[in-house]
Amino acid sequence: MSEQIIPAAVVEKANNAREADLKRDYEALGEQLARRGIAIDTIRDKVASFHIAVPSWGVGTGGTRFARFPGAGEPRDIFDKIEDCAVIQQLTRATPKVSLHIPWDKADPKRLKQAASRFGLGFDAMNSNTFSDAADQKLSYKFGSLSHADRAVREQAVEHNLECIEIGRDIGSRALTVWIGDGSNFPGQVNFARAFERYLDAMRSIYAGLPDDWKLFTEHKMYEPAFYSTVVQDWGTNYIIARELGEKAFCLVDLGHHAPNVNIEMIVSRLIQFGKLGGFHFNDSKYGDDDLDAGSIDPYRLFLVFNELVDAEISGAGGFDPAHMLDQSHNVTDPIESLMLSAVEVQRAYTQALLVDRTALEGFQDANDALMATQTLKAAYRTDVEPILAMARLNGGGAIDPVAAYRAAGYRAKVASERPAVTGGGGGIV
């Protein structure tokens, strides 16, 4: 039995106050779903085994490029971060893995492993950082990293990524995510083709260092920090990269890294169809890479993404096993609360997508019945699946209402008294 940070008695008390109502709601929803030919327990079990990784950098307050307003009791190092992540997992039972960012989270791998296994946690994809300069770094990434004009800078960036793989091997990770800030701010500043060729060369060296059972995820982003051009700017370029590198290379879709109004679910479908969807960085956005909480702005879009994922899951698309990670920046909320609710929102979209009547949908599509086709999706989306999510949490030993249990435990006040305020530090908005 792994250690629990929130006292079991607090969770039990919070659950006891809600359990009778939940059982009634679950039964009522079960009857409703049975009329639609759906077994609620089957859906609940699928949801219980659906997991989302928490980013280590997400448990601190992110900040914007204007300022960072630190929160109380922020984690001081990776070991504090792991404890915060353990709280999220304990109450939601949806986030058993943590995604590390190097060098921010650099520590003795043995200690990392011990710290995580204390709480029954594991490690998800490793994330390299060549978009900022580390304190002890020889050469600067100011003008790029893996695509830099200077070979020595490129080699340094490759070495860093290989080190991330080494650390990852020691702690049981199975993937490396590479996002670079390389690009240009002025027309003419960079030769597009030469920069991309240099990037591909550098990535081939990283790919060569990848263990056989690992995956390499590359993440595209349209703009920021470069504002005229970005080396890995869109999913087309990302697809080319994955194709060029080989079968262990996949595209990572961060929901905030697209132009406004781009049809992300269609990108997801294309990447699935050609076997190159690696996974996701879930968040939400209104204008750009806002890194807002998943499902907070456009929950229907999140559902439509999952509609594609469930479609692929059901049709048995070859090698389909996408990684699910959150990638958010919290500025006005308690990061633990935001991450708990975001994990639940991602689970919710998955659950709703499981309810789509796919036989009916295909019939309406073939009959060109646009209205009924879209209503078929809406019928699933409109279903309040909260009782399923809450029951999966309760059965797994979590909280019916994670935020209520978290607040009742007074965790934030407790760590605020133990952890001195963090003033500087990397934001980590990728």
When the beta carbons of 331 and 383 are compared against Mn ion, the nearer one is 331
From the centroid of its chain, how far is CA 179?
Answer: 14
Provide the minimum distance between the beta carbon of 327 and Mn ion in the complex, in angstroms, as a whole number: 4
Q: Which of 291, 313, 327, 345 binds Mn ion (CB under 5 A)?
A: 327
Q: Residue 19 CB: number of other CB atoms within 10 A?
A: 15
**First vs last Cα of the chain: how many Å apart?**
34
Stretch that binds Mn ion, among 3-11, 230-238, 322-330, 379-387 (CB under 5 A): 322-330
Complex with Mn ion: residue 97 or 281, whichever CB lies closer: 281
Kindly state the smallest distance separating residue 378's Cβ from Mn ion, in Å. Answer: 30
Q: Is residue 429 within 8 Å of 363, Cβ to Cβ?
A: no
Contact in structure between 387 and 348 (CB atoms under 8 Å): no
For Mn ion, give the closer residue by CB, 310 or 323.
323
CB of 328 to Mn ion, least distance (A): 9
- Least distance to Mn ion, CB of residue 424, Å: 22
- Rounded CA-CA distance 403/342 in Å is 12
Nearest distance from residue 221's CB to Mn ion, in Å?
8
Shortest spacing between CB 151 and Mn ion, in angstroms: 28
Residue 71 to residue 333: CA distance in whole angstroms: 9
User: Of the two residues 254 and 290, which places its CB atom closer to Mn ion in the complex?
Assistant: 254
Q: Which of 281, 324, 330, 393 binds Mn ion (CB under 5 A)?
A: 281
Binding status of residue 430 toward Mn ion by CB under 5 A: yes
R_g of the chain computed on alpha carbons: 22
Range in contact with Mn ion (rule: CB under 5 A) among 111-119, 121-129, 233-241, 327-335: 327-335
154 part of the interface to Mn ion, by CB under 5 A: no
User: Which structure tokens are listed for 242?
Assistant: 């994955």
Residue of 254, 313, 345, 401 that binds Mn ion (CB under 5 A): 254
User: Should residue 334 be labelled a site residue for Mn ion when binding is judged by CB under 5 A?
Assistant: no
Comparing CA positions, the residue from 333, 277, 336, 366 lying closest to residue 55 is: 336
To the nearest 10 degrees (0 to 180), the angle between helices 386-395 and 40-48 is: 60
Write the DSSP symbol of residue 274: T
Torsion of CA 111, 112, 114, 115, to 10 degrees: 110
Q: Which residues bind Mn ion (CB under 5 A)?
A: 254, 281, 327, 430
